[in-house]
Amino acid sequence: MKIQLFAFSVLLSFSAVAQEQKEDEKELDPITVTATLTPLSVSKTGRNIQIIKGDMINKLPVNSIDELIRYIPGVEVQSRGPMGAQSNITIRGGTFQQVLIILDGIRLNDPLTGHFNSYIPIAPSEIDRIEILKGASSAVYGGEAVGGVVHIITKTFAAKNLKDGYRLNSQLAVGEFGLRNVQAGAGFHKNKTTASVGLITNNADGQPLRGAKGFFNLTTLSASIKQEIGKSWSVAYRFGFDDRNFNAQNFYSSRLSDTATEYVNSTWNHLKTEFRNNKHHFSLDLGSKKTLDQFQFNKNFSPNVNNSKLQQALAIYDYQLNENTTLTGGSQFISRTITSNDRGDHEVQSAGFFALMNTKIKGLNLNPALRADWNERSGWILLPQINANYRYESLLFRGSIGRTSRDADFTERFNNYQRSNVPAGSRIGNPELGAETSISYEMGVDYYLSKSFKVSTTWFERFHSNLIDWVRKPYDNMPRKVNLIPGASYDLASNITKVNTTGIETDLQYNQTFGANHSVTSGIGFVWMRSRSSDTIPSLYVSNHAKEFINFFVNYRYKVLGIGINGLYKERNTPVPVAGLVPLSKSYFLMNIRVDANVNSNFVLFAQADNVFNKSYSDILGSVMPGRWLMCGLKLNLQ
């Protein structure tokens, strides 16, 4: 609390000085599509939404999309490996399966496991913006939209009113431990055609681990094209390829015999058709994702080989009833399949039907929504939600209440079901899992001190029933024992009767231009959370989220020089120590720095230091995160 009050007072003082400067043209109330599916300014959605421009990944000391998200105020990213190897994205104390990842309007959440949700098949050069919606949104998006939504919107799919021309950019970085990173992108627009292509590849021999090195070879390639047809129609297509080979030691277990490696390869196809005419807007999205996962615990084990497929169709129709009211309706179909030597062969279908309204009544903005979801395992469920906000001068009051749901993924249901002998301490799936549900509500206020400075505070609470998480069970209490060791203990995927999460979050955004030479873009978030469970034995991921959490980013430019800084502080429950492994860190502080200089209008030199203070820490189980890592490089931009 002292840290929060100190930071708040400093920023207030800074704002008072900024008020005397020229009013900034940068908008703190941008247009978003994530909360209600139709374009609205953030202040009209009734939600706490953070929006980060895609070019920030080249201005801040980050090397991948999940690292950028890690420093967005109020978002907790629990990392297993560096530079995109693997991360769990959590919002408001939920598990990583309770955050929905969306790319250009359709979902990416992996049917095999939520651990792959941070594998976003898009290169940074193609990103227009990232919208982070905090809190429940199942009434709009269905399952997994429990703790929040991460929506990546690309330049090609968002393209409108563009000038003819091209853009080229590239970045090369080298550093310690055999680091070799490349980012590149190209874009083109002429008349009614827009196209782009992008690449990011992060590679390193890695820092030393227990008897191994934390190597990684991570490559994402994406390409897209959009064609306008006449005045009303457009067609867009995207292809994505994601290939990852990395050391996965103690990513999923806390055993000393764990010297795991993992290979994950996925392809992504998305076809979108849109029609716009006066008050009508219709869109149809078709998406397909295929993933191959090969995981080998150590050289004495044969690898798990999992092939999963996600296919979906989403239709949305908007009608603008009048200048104050828009009606939206739609339907969604999702098919998830898996073939696996570890989890078996399975398929599950689901569908959803939803309706929303955005309306304004005498200064009060209301956004009610209702969704009916069907899942062939758990049946039908109704998911209502309403958001509201009211603005009085510089203050915006907002509130929301809604119901959410989530069905178990294939790992939670069938992990280790096909193996003949499962070692003690392993995770065991549970086919009898029921769907989890929750009621979430929040109340908040946004204070616009100026066009440059915004403060948002939100109180939130979530009441979960049958939450799905991993709980340690002795052999005698396991529902299925055919391939287990008598007397051993295992982590069983379980429904926890009740879990209540309460929290307060405060976000500050400050964007300011001082004359022609100075500019600042920054954000800081403070989160206080507590979760209470009806289960006397702490579950794995619910007990792992931060109790107090601060993260921040700042980018400052003066003429040809720029400096980007981001960091985080995390405090959580005291973890149970595991003999022989680096223990989970109860608390830690991290900071990264990047300094760049424009050689001319096209070339930029930069130097970067990750984990400046060389902090030794672990976020999950015994997976050790890297210490200080130094690198430097060159950027080229042409347009």
> Which domains, from first to last, does the chain contain?
2-218+236-638 (2.40.170.20)
Q: What is the mean pLDDT of the segment spanning 599-623?
A: 90
Kindly tell me if the per-residue pLDDT of 345 is higher than 70: yes
Kindly tell me if the per-residue pLDDT of 265 is higher than 90: yes
Per cent of the chain over pLDDT 90 is 73
pLDDT at 573 (0 to 100): 80
Q: Using alpha carbons, select from 624, 606, 636, 558 the residue that is nearest to residue 175.
A: 606
SS3 115: helix
| Joined tokens for residue 323 | 């200048």
DSSP state at residue 417: S
pLDDT at 306 (0 to 100): 96
Q: What is the mean pLDDT of the segment spanning 365-393?
A: 95
pLDDT in tens, 512-559: 888 888 899 999 999 999 999 888 777 888 888 899 999 999 999 998
Q: What is the mean pLDDT of the segment spanning 238-261?
A: 92
Choice between 179 and 5, residue whose per-residue pLDDT is larger: 179
pLDDT at 579 (0 to 100): 53
pLDDT in tens, 467-476: 999 999 999 9
**Residues in CB range of 463: below 8 A, 6 or more apart:** 438, 439, 440, 498, 500
pLDDT in tens, 278-324: 899 999 999 999 999 999 998 888 899 999 999 999 999 999 999 99
pLDDT in tens, 31-88: 899 999 988 999 999 999 999 988 888 889 999 999 999 999 989 999 989 998 999 9
Round the average pLDDT of the chain to a whole number and report it.
90
Residue with tokens 């299925």: 480
Choice between 584 and 185, residue whose per-residue pLDDT is larger: 185
Q: Are strands 427-428 and 489-514 parallel, antiparallel or unpaired?
A: parallel
Rg (CA), the chain: 24
pLDDT at 254 (0 to 100): 81
The Cα-based distances of 596 to 64, 541, 599 in angstroms read 18, 38, 9
Per cent of the chain over pLDDT 70 is 94
pLDDT at 583 (0 to 100): 67
Residue 266 burial (CB count, 10 A): 22
**Residues in CB range of 153: below 8 A, 6 or more apart:** 33, 104, 127, 128, 129, 130, 131
Lowest mean pLDDT among 18-22, 397-401, 429-433: 18-22
pLDDT at 576 (0 to 100): 61
Instruction: Give 3-state DSSP helix, strand, coil % of the chain, rounded to 5.
Output: 10, 55, 35
Q: What is the mean pLDDT of the segment spanning 343-347?
A: 95
Q: 359: buried, middle or exposed (CB in 10 Å: 19+, 13-18, 0-12)?
A: middle
| Joined tokens for residue 333 | 């179909």
| pTM, two decimal places | 0.93
**Residues in CB range of 278: below 8 A, 6 or more apart:** none
